[in-house]
């Protein structure tokens, strides 16, 4: 995935290098993006288990593709602060121990509140950038997976958590009126604690590594 992203960024830079589109000096940039979200979801710690999970039980979260809105403020020609707005939805399924594909968490909806500081390199037509920042994963709805309901599970929760994020991308001007094309990659580093309840009894509690890759492409307007 990292090699594919690097190739895409290099290709866009080569195409954009001859372009002589004039930089727009606006302080605000808005981006409308299509975003591919690829979380991990593996179990890193089993804290409570009154059910008796099979040895070697492991999980993964499914991928998703969502629209994203990013708003960026330039504090100087090369430094900006960016936040994103999106909602992404994921299931968590078994990949070992339990029957493959057993759904353990269903339709978990997440708002990944994210703020990054970015440095933009001036290399002519295109402007690659690097960034880093903080995130807060806020789960707004979580449902028990289909495989857990016959076992008596009535409620499933995922803990909201802080984490950090690294970012790289490139902005390519299309014209001198502020319109541009953008590619962006983020790697998040954040965990969550999953809990399955049978009535008021905590049946299973596990720690999961999420650490998603988030890859986006779309259009930007700076004004």
Tokens linked to 200: 């008021």
Q: What is the mean pLDDT of the chain?
A: 91
Domain borders along the chain are 2-222
Instruction: Specify the pLDDT at position 125.
Output: 84
Report the phi/psi class of residue 44: left, alpha or beta, with left for phi > 0 and alpha for psi in -120 to 50: alpha
With a cut of 60, say whether residue 215 has pLDDT above it: yes
* CA separation for the pair 2, 198 (Å, rounded): 41
Tens of pLDDT, residues 158-174:
999 999 999 999 999 99
Nearest to 186 by CA among 200, 165, 172: 165
Q: Mean pLDDT, to the nearest integer, of 118-127?
A: 92
* CA separation for the pair 221, 29 (Å, rounded): 5
pLDDT over 70, % of the chain: 89
Give residue 123's pLDDT band: very low, low, confident or very high (50, 70, 90): confident
Q: From the CB of residue 85, how many other CB atoms can be counted at a distance below 10 Å?
A: 13
Instruction: Specify the pLDDT at position 8.
Output: 47
Q: Mean pLDDT, to the nearest integer, of 7-28?
A: 52
Q: Mean pLDDT, to the nearest integer, of 182-208?
A: 98
Instruction: Specify the pLDDT at position 25.
Output: 67
Beta bridge pairs of residue 144: 105
Query: Residue 12 gets which letter from DSSP?
Result: H
Instruction: Specify the pLDDT at position 124.
Output: 81
C-alpha distances in Å from residue 194, one per residue of 17, 79, 125, 207, 213? 47, 38, 46, 6, 20
Q: Indicate the pTM of the whole model.
A: 0.87
Instruction: Specify the pLDDT at position 221.
Output: 97
Instruction: Specify the pLDDT at position 9.
Output: 46
Q: Mean pLDDT, to the nearest integer, of 90-108?
A: 96
With a cut of 50, say whether residue 4 has pLDDT above it: no
pLDDT over 90, % of the chain: 85
With a cut of 70, say whether residue 7 has pLDDT above it: no
Q: Mean pLDDT, to the nearest integer, of 27-54?
A: 96
* CA separation for the pair 45, 204 (Å, rounded): 11
With a cut of 60, say whether residue 102 has pLDDT above it: yes
* CA separation for the pair 50, 179 (Å, rounded): 57
**2-222 carries CATH number 3.30.420.40:** no
Q: Mean pLDDT, to the nearest integer, of 138-145?
A: 97
Q: Mean pLDDT, to the nearest integer, of 213-221?
A: 98
């Amino acid at each position: 995935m990292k090699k594919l992203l690097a190739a895409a960024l290099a290709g866009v830079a080569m195409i954009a290098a001859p372009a002589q589109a004039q930089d727009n000096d606006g302080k605000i940039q808005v981006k409308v993006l299509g975003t591919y979200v690829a979380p991990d979801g593996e179990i890193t710690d089993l804290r409570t288990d009154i059910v008796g999970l099979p040895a070697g039980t492991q999980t993964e979260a499914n991928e998703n593709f969502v629209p994203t809105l990013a708003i960026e403020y330039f504090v100087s020609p090369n430094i900006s602060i960016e936040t994103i707005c999106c909602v992404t939805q994921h299931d968590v399924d078994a990949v070992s121990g339990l029957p493959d594909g057993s759904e353990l968490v269903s339709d978990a909806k997440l708002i990944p509140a994210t703020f990054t500081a970015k440095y933009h390199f001036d290399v002519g037509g295109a402007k690659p950038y690097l960034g880093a920042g903080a995130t807060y994963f806020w789960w707004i709805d979580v449902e028990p997976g289909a495989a857990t309901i016959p076992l008596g599970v009535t409620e499933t929760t995922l803990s909201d958590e802080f984490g950090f994020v690294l970012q790289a991308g490139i902005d390519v001007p299309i014209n001198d009126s502020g319109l541009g094309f953008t590619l962006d990659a983020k790697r998040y580093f954040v965990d969550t604690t999953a809990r399955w309840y049978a009535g008021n009894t905590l049946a299973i509690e596990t720690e999961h590594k999420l650490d998603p890759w988030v890859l986006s492409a779309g259009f930007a307007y700076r004004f």
